[in-house]
Structure 1
């Protein structure tokens, strides 16, 4: 049974933490590795360098949208491919544990699953919703 009094706050916490994680990873790419350095890294993996800029944009826009609670379900699902790409092209070969050299794939896999969970449970409390879209009642946000 779902506790409809507290479930919206659980969804809120998950949504804000997911958004903050995306902003932190975008910040790493922008301020530490630099966008040009990130593009060079993507190219070294055999990916188009321009994909790095798209990834940074997705992480920033998606992180902000999640924190604010705008289009939460769609944004959550749209960000899953970013994490699947990190598993396939960066972390997958390093093995399961993220403490391995080059990081393992369990952290981005868990992160992808939490995005799917967020998409299933919805916005939660204190979400900004696009104009014309009413807040859902306690039976699920």
Structure 2
């Protein structure tokens, strides 16, 4: 029995979704760190009635999850907590602003689409060019 990796169109699609989502999460975390600052992000969370320390956990999830997605190392598994992170952003901040993200203070359309991408990554797996992916056992 030989272990081999075969790339299908779905594997390449998973790769594109995984890497794009990962880069977006890294950019999103960088915005929280460098633009809003760590204390500023914690203060924003507190203004929503959430504990400030949760901001640090979310930033950690976004950085670790973003890297995992980009390199394909358990990115498919981290896609679910990242989707939950985005669902939290919808329900705490964006839902009341309407559907369109172009609405004042941003609606929830962009985040909902991003959740669908993450669920697709979870279902498809890490795809092509991943550090860790499922291999197919085939007869030699």
Alignment match of 1:24 (pick from 17, 22, 27) = 27
Asked if 1:110 corresponds to 2:110, the answer is no
> What is the TM-score of this pair, normalised by structure 1?
0.88
SS in 1 for 2:136: coil
Q: How many Å separate the matches in 1 of 2:45 and 2:74?
A: 28
Alignment of 1:1-141 (within 5 A): 5-129=8-132, 135-137=134-136
Q: CA deviation at 1:115?
A: 0.5
The higher radius of gyration belongs to 2
Deviation of 1:73 after TM superposition, in Å, equals 2.2
Question: Aligned equivalents of 1:11 and 1:70: distance in 2?
Answer: 13
Deviates more, 1:70-79 or 1:102-111: 70-79
- TM norm structure 2: 0.89
CA RMSD in angstroms, aligned pairs only: 1.4
CA deviation after TM superposition for structure 1 residue 54, in Å: 0.5
